[in-house]
Amino acid sequence: MPIVIDKDIPAYKILTGERIFVMDSERAFSQQIRPIEIAILNLMPTKETTETQFMRLLSNSPLQVNVTLVKTASYNSTHTEKQHLDRFYKTFEEIKNRKFDGMIITGAPVENMPFEQVAYWQELQSILDWTKNNVTSTLFICWGAQAALYHFYGIDKHPLKEKCFGIFAHQRIRDGESEPLMRGISDEFHMPHSRHTVIYARDINGVEGLKILAYSKRAGASVIKSTDNRQVFVTGHMEYDRDTLKNEYERDRAKGLNIKPPANYFVDGDMSRVKMNWSSTANLFYINWLNYYVYQVTPYDINKID
């Protein structure tokens, strides 16, 4: 089944060109199918790139998925055209009376700031609290994961001496072998990271209601979930495209920042060749989340989500 998006959004043309099955909303509404409703709160500055990355992953399941893009009202993005935001995005006020089967809250390039100093922190706190009773399962990504762990559990992030930047190996926790979210994923898998802070496993261990599913020696606790499966925290970026880290590296160098090339990323140091070894894990992870944590447990009557 396809992902359902507006046919005029840039992602529609990109994904169609990749032979990914997407459907415009007019055609989808004519079908007698209860689609899965997924909201994406996009906090990244490059919103068009980010929305396409997540839509690509959500399109790989046999489910029909409706996507609602959400933006903050307390902070206006300066990297995305206002026309795009006004046409394709909704504010929290516009969706707060709805229910969603799943929600994704993305990362944001603000990890060096205290949470309380982020311009939209109060609005984000309201959204986080709202997810508890209005979303079957919420997936938090990178800074979004750090923010949710801090808000719900009081777990703080820690600054790194050097940016965690590259592709890193992760170990699946052995006692989580029966965990549906990690089903089919190898004992060792890879994931991109790009951040200046880390969540230590020691701060999560022993916290009631949380469980670590995967860990990296370099990147810290990387996949965490609540024991009721309503919250999933991923501190990396499985959704990244082949050239995302390359583009970030070239951007930072152009700014004159002292940054090393992303680790374990370029083949033999050749910047024209990227070793993309995380895409199969990403696809399987999102299929597992949609199937086991959303589709199989969400009520048919979406208004009964609580």
Active site residue 164: no
For residues 221 and 215, is the Cβ–Cβ distance under 8 A?
yes
| Confidence (pTM) | 0.89
Helix (H), strand (E) at residue 214: strand 210-216
For residues 306 and 133, is the Cβ–Cβ distance under 8 A?
yes
Q: Which of 37, 142, 179, 193 is catalytic?
A: 142
Question: According to the model, what pLDDT value does residue 4 have?
Answer: 66
- Residue given tokens 């009081």 in the structure block: 154
Distance CA 189, CA 264 (A): 13
Question: According to the model, what pLDDT value does residue 76 have?
Answer: 81
Q: Among 62, 44, 59, 70, which residue's Cα sits nearest to residue 5?
A: 59
Q: Which of 37, 48, 237, 248 is catalytic?
A: 237
SS3 280: helix
Q: Among 76, 220, 47, which residue's Cα sits nearest to residue 145?
A: 220
CB atoms closer than 10 angstroms to residue 42: 26
Active site residue 142: yes
Question: According to the model, what pLDDT value does residue 175 have?
Answer: 67
Full pLDDT tens readout for the chain, 306 residues: 456 667 777 777 776 776 555 655 554 444 456 899 999 999 999 899 999 999 999 987 888 899 999 999 988 877 778 889 899 999 999 999 999 999 999 999 999 999 999 999 999 999 999 999 999 999 999 999 999 999 999 999 999 999 999 999 999 997 656 789 999 999 999 999 999 999 999 999 989 999 999 999 999 999 999 999 999 999 999 999 999 999 999 999 999 988 999 999 999 989 899 999 999 999 999 999 999 999 989 998 999 988
Q: Which of 48, 111, 239, 248 is catalytic?
A: 239
For residues 181 and 289, is the Cβ–Cβ distance under 8 A?
yes
Question: According to the model, what pLDDT value does residue 1 have?
Answer: 47
Active site residue 237: yes
Q: How many CA atoms lie within 13 A of 162 on its CB side?
A: 9
Q: Among 306, 125, 146, which residue's Cα sits nearest to residue 230?
A: 306
CB atoms closer than 10 angstroms to residue 282: 23
CB atoms closer than 10 angstroms to residue 20: 16
